[in-house]
Amino acid sequence: MGGCSVFKCSSSSTKGQSVFRLPKSPSTRAEWLKFLQMSGRKICNDVEYCVCELHFRPDQIKFTKKSNKLNLGSVPSILVEELTPDVRGK
């Protein structure tokens, strides 16, 4: 799927993190875009953005052996600056 769209985040599915596309729900999608802007990302309407699992609280993700899924209505809330150095380097 590619890399995380959060500004200064270098995580990607190729580095082992789950990456989630923006939700279709207009209200939840708007909250995700607001978070991306808060992180420093400039938003363009013609770009498909993704956010990696590191920006969600663990209780927002259903972890399974095959693939991880977000709980309905989950919104990213953890900025790169809030991640511990060992997680930030992944």
pLDDT digit string, tens, across residues 35-90: 999 888 888 876 789 999 999 999 999 988 888 999 999 999 999 988 877 665 55
The pLDDT, as a whole number, for residue 39 is 86
The encoded tokens of residue 3 equal 């890399």
For residue 53, CA distances in Å to 45, 46, 81, 87 come to: 23, 23, 15, 11
pTM for the predicted model, two decimal places: 0.86
**10/8 Cα distance (integer angstroms):** 6
| Angle CA 29–33–38, to nearest 5 | 145
CA atoms within 13 A on the CB side of 3: 8
The pLDDT, as a whole number, for residue 88 is 55
Section 29-39 average pLDDT: 92
